[in-house]
C-alpha cells in the first residue's frame, strides 16, 4: 500500500468516514509488519501538526494507557506529561484500536528545538504477538521446502507450483503440506480438489490418483471442496482414527483434541463417516446431510470414555458459521468454554497457555477477526470476564 493511501485511510478512520471496504483494507494494512514504520511516521507527523482531537469512544483505552503511565516512575515534567496525554496518547489510542501492535514513538515538543533531553520513548503496550500468517512446509518425497508467506497457496499437477504458476518442484511420488502453529495455507490437489489448512494441520496424498480410489490423510483442521468423480470415490483418513467417504462435496474436518472429538461438518453433498477401528462399517458408519456434524470421540482423548469404547458416532445439527469461521478469518467463540477458546489462541498465535487455579467456567459469546494482534483479543476477553496476563510467550489464565 502506498504511503498516500495509508495516510488517507487513517485520516478517514479518525474522521469516522471509513466505508466498510476501506475499514477492511486499513485493518489488513495495519496487521502487516511492513506498514509499522509508515504508521510511526504518520503518528509523528500528525502529532507535530496537531491535527486530531480526542475521540470519546476511545475513553476506556485512553484511561488504561494513562494509568499505565502514571504507574511508572516519573521521568518527565508536568508539561511534557500533559503533551503526551493530550496529543500522542489520543492519536496512538486510535491507531491501537486498529493495529493492536507495538507503537513506539519518539515525541518531541513542537514549540521547542529538539534536544536529547527532550526526547521521550513512549511504550504504549507491552511487546505484542502477531497473528498467524500464510506459513507452511511442503514435503515432496524427502525434500522439504519452506513456502513463501507472500503466497496464499500451491497447486499440484505435473509440477508443484504456487497458485500464481511459479514452479516449486517436480511432483515426485508423495506430497505433504503441513502448517505450524501460527500458520495457514491452501492447496489444489491433482484431481482439482481444493483444501484449506488451519494452524497445526497437515494433508498428505500421492502426486497422482492412479488407483480406483482417491485417498488422502489429514490432521488438525482442514476444509475440503472435493472435485466430483463418481468413478473414483474420495476417501479422507482423519488422523488415523476416522474415515470419510466422499463422492463430491464440501466439508470441514476438525481433529484437534480441544474437547475430545473429531468433528466432521458437511456443507454440501453427502459423506459417510466411520471409525477406523470398528469391526463392521454397517453398524458404526453415519451418513451426513448438509448442515449436520458427526462427533467421533478421539481415542485417549478428553471426551466421553463410554463413547470412546463403543466406537459410536454422534450426529448433531451443525453451526456452519462457527465451523467455517477460521477459514473466513474469524474467531467465533459463541458457546465455547475457556479451554477450547484458549486452544484456538495457542495455535493461531503460537503461544503456550497456563492456568493458575481452576479453569474458569465461563461460556463465551462473541466474534473477533483473526488478523488482530493478541493484545486486542485479550482486551476483548477481559470484557468477557476472562482475566489473563502475558509472560513472554505464555498466556496465564487467572
Distance CA 12, CA 21 (A): 12
Distance CA 358, CA 320 (A): 31
CB 296 within 8 A of CB 303: no
Q: What is the pLDDT of residue 120?
A: 28
CB 153 within 8 A of CB 168: no
Beta-bridge partners for 123: 104
pLDDT surpassing 80 at residue 227: yes
Q: What is the pLDDT of residue 61?
A: 43
Provide the CATH number for the domain formed by 330-397 in this structure.
3.55.50.30
If pLDDT is split at 50, 70 and 90, which confidence band does 136 have?
A: very high
Mind listing the pLDDT tens digit for each residue in 60-110? 444 444 444 444 443 333 333 333 344 444 444 444 444 443 222 222 223
Distance CA 68, CA 126 (A): 11
Beta-bridge partners for 294: 264, 315
The pLDDT of 379-391, averaged and rounded, is 84
- Which residues have CB under 8 Å from 282's CB, separation 6+? none
- Which residues have CB under 8 Å from 382's CB, separation 6+? 388
Phi and psi at residue 37, to the nearest 5°: -65, -40
The pLDDT of 21-33, averaged and rounded, is 67
If pLDDT is split at 50, 70 and 90, which confidence band does 254 have?
A: very high
* 9-18, 200-209, 277-286: least confidently modelled range: 277-286
Beta-bridge partners for 153: 186
Q: Which of 169, 164, 170, 163 is nearest to 194 (CA)?
A: 163
378: three-class secondary structure by DSSP: helix
Distance CA 298, CA 279 (A): 17
Right CATH number for 133-323 from 3.90.550.10, 2.60.120.1440, 1.10.490.10, 3.40.1190.20? 2.60.120.1440
> By percentage, how much of the chain surpasses pLDDT 70?
68
Distance CA 368, CA 178 (A): 25
pLDDT surpassing 70 at residue 338: yes
CA angle, 69 as apex, 68 and 71 as ends, to 5°? Answer: 65
* 12-26, 152-166, 258-272, 373-387: least confidently modelled range: 12-26
Alpha-carbon distances, residue 384 vs 12, 83, 218, 338, 347 (angstroms): 30, 33, 34, 11, 21
Q: What is the pLDDT of residue 45?
A: 60
Long-range contacts of 282-289 (CB under 8 A, 24+ apart): 284/311, 284/312, 284/313, 285/313, 286/313, 286/315, 288/251, 288/264, 288/315
The pLDDT of 31-46, averaged and rounded, is 59
CB 145 within 8 A of CB 134: no
Most confident listed range (61-75, 109-123, 200-214, 288-302): 200-214
Q: What is the pLDDT of residue 211?
A: 84
The pLDDT of 29-46, averaged and rounded, is 60
The pLDDT of 184-193, averaged and rounded, is 96
Q: What is the pLDDT of residue 395?
A: 93
* Residue owning grid cell 514435503: 139
Q: What is the pLDDT of residue 36?
A: 58
Mind listing the pLDDT tens digit for each residue in 306-318? 555 556 789 999 9
CB 273 within 8 A of CB 284: no
Looking at the chain, the number of H-run helices and the number of E-run strands are 11, 27
If pLDDT is split at 50, 70 and 90, which confidence band does 230 have?
A: confident
Question: Residue ranges of the domains in the chain?
Answer: 3-123, 133-323, 330-397
pLDDT surpassing 90 at residue 178: yes
C-alpha cell at 315: 450426529
If pLDDT is split at 50, 70 and 90, which confidence band does 280 have?
A: very low
Residue of 111 and 198 predicted with greater confidence:
198
* 36-50, 231-245, 276-290: least confidently modelled range: 36-50
- Which residues have CB under 8 Å from 248's CB, separation 6+? 226, 227, 228, 229, 230, 234, 269
- Which residues have CB under 8 Å from 274's CB, separation 6+? 242, 243, 245, 281, 284, 285, 286, 313
If pLDDT is split at 50, 70 and 90, which confidence band does 387 have?
A: confident
Amino acid at each position: 500500500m502506498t504511503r498516500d493511501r495509508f495516510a488517507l485511510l487513517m485520516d478517514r478512520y479518525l474522521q469516522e468516514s471509513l466505508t466498510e471496504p476501506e475499514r477492511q483494507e486499513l485493518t489488513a494494512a495495519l496487521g502487516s509488519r511492513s506498514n509499522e514504520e509508515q504508521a510511526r511516521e504518520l503518528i509523528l507527523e500528525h502529532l507535530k501538526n496537531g491535527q486530531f482531537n480526542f475521540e470519546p469512544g476511545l475513553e476506556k483505552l485512553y484511561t488504561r494507557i494513562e494509568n499505565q503511565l502514571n504507574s511508572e516512575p516519573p521521568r518527565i515534567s508536568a508539561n511534557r506529561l500533559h503533551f503526551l496525554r493530550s496529543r500522542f496518547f489520543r492519536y496512538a489510542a486510535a491507531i491501537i484500536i486498529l493495529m493492536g501492535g507495538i507503537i513506539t514513538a519518539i515525541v518531541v515538543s513542537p514549540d521547542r528545538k529538539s534536544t536529547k533531553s527532550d526526547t521521550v520513548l513512549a511504550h504504549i503496550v507491552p511487546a505484542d504477538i502477531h497473528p498467524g500468517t500464510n506459513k507452511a512446509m511442503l514435503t515432496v518425497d524427502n525434500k522439504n521446502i519452506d513456502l513463501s508467506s507472500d503466497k496464499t497457496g500451491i497447486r499440484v499437477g505435473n509440477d508443484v507450483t504456487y497458485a500464481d504458476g511459479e514452479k516449486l518442484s517436480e511432483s515426485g511420488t508423495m506430497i505433504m503440506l503441513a502448517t505450524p502453529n501460527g500458520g495457514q495455507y491452501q492447496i489444489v490437489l491433482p484431481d482439482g480438489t481444493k483444501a484449506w489448512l488451519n494452524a497445526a494441520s497437515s494433508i498428505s496424498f500421492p502426486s497422482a490418483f492412479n488407483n480406483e480410489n482417491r485417498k488422502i490423510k489429514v490432521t488438525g483442521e482442514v476444509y475440503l471442496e472435493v472435485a466430483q468423480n463418481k468413478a473414483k470415490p474420495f476417501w479422507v483418513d482423519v488422523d488415523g482414527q476416522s474415515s470419510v467417504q466422499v463422492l463430491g462435496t464440501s466439508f470441514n474436518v476438525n481433529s484437534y483434541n480441544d474437547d475430545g472429538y473429531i468433528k466432521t461438518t458437511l456443507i454440501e453433498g453427502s459423506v459417510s463417516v466411520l471409525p477406523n477401528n470398528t469391526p463392521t462399517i454397517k453398524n458404526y458408519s453415519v451418513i451426513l446431510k448438509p448442515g449436520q456434524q458427526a462427533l467421533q470421540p478421539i481415542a485417549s482423548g478428553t471426551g466421553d470414555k463410554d463413547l470412546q469404547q463403543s466406537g459410536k458416532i454422534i450426529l448433531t445439527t451443525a453451526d456452519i458459521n462457527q465451523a467455517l469461521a477460521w477459514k473466513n478469518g474469524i474467531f467465533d467463540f459463541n458457546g465455547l468454554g475457556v479451554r477450547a477458546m484458549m486452544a484456538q489462541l495457542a495455535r493461531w498465535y503460537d503461544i503456550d497457555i497456563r492456568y493458575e487455579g481452576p479453569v474458569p467456567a465461563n461460556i463465551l459469546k462473541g466474534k473477533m477477526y483473526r488478523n488482530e494482534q493478541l493484545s486486542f483479543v485479550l482486551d476483548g476477553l477481559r470484557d468477557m470476564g476472562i482475566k489473563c496476563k502475558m509472560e513472554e510467550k505464555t498466556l496465564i489464565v487467572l
